[in-house]
Amino acid sequence: MAKSGLLFILSAPSGAGKSTLAKSIVKTDRRFVLSVSYTTRPPRPYEVSGKDYYFVSKDKFEKLRAAGVFIETAHVHGAYYGTPKGPINRALSTGQYILLAIDVVGAKNIAKAYPKNTVGIFLLPPNAKVWLGRLKQRKEHNWKTRVRNAKHEMRAINFFNYKIVNDNLKDATADFFALARAEELKRQQPALLGLN
């Protein structure tokens, strides 16, 4: 493990499977700690507050933002999202690997805040038909907005270090760990030579 931790960002259009992949990663390897964001959107039936997100009112969100709790915030798909900085700073200082499943705007803000520790991964659905099916299956009340926003999110694909196609969860998880290992090796080489 690296001396200082690494921040792995999974970003994708809504419905590409970033939350599902993130859960698979932390279940497979305990070195990875999932960062839990705050949001003002209502929970989906299967989501648990404190595990998937911290679900808060807009008023509570604004108080947390004013108190400096967040590294970054974004207004996406009609709701506010914020990434708390405390857990990330603790994880990085102890050499842990932290995993964030966030939107493109949040990914750019995190990379700006932690440029040396961030690895950006853009997750793609296998094709448009599968992706639209996933979105409709989730019964999002604003799925048309999410489809429209996806076009803008896709334009940011070249900002990310890596791309993974999420056609099969097992394969996507394996691809993630291959990328994570590549990043470990990249960072070990200067340390072994005493150059960092």
Find, among 8, 4, 43, the residue nearest to 26 by Cα.
8
Query: Who has greater pLDDT, 32 or 105?
Result: 32
- When the pLDDT of each residue in the chain is averaged and rounded to a whole number, the result is 86
Residue 2: pLDDT band by 50, 70, 90 thresholds? very low
Q: And the tokens for 83? A: 């990434």
Break the chain down into helix, strand, coil percent, rounded to 5: 45, 20, 35
The angle formed by the CA atoms of residues 179, 39 and 27, to the nearest 5 degrees, is 35
Residue 129, pLDDT score: 79
- State pTM to two decimals: 0.82
Residue 3: pLDDT band by 50, 70, 90 thresholds? low
Residue 21, pLDDT score: 95
On whether the CB atoms of residues 72 and 83 are closer than 8 A, the answer is yes
- CATH of segment(s) 6-192: 3.40.50.300
What are the backbone angles phi and psi of residue 27, rounded to the nearest 5°? -70, -35
pLDDT (tens digit, 9 = 90+) per residue, 67-126? Answer: 999 999 988 878 999 999 998 999 888 888 999 999 888 899 999 999 989 999 999 888
- How confident is the model over 126-136, as a mean pLDDT? 73
Where exactly are the structural domains of the chain? 6-192
Residue 156, pLDDT score: 84
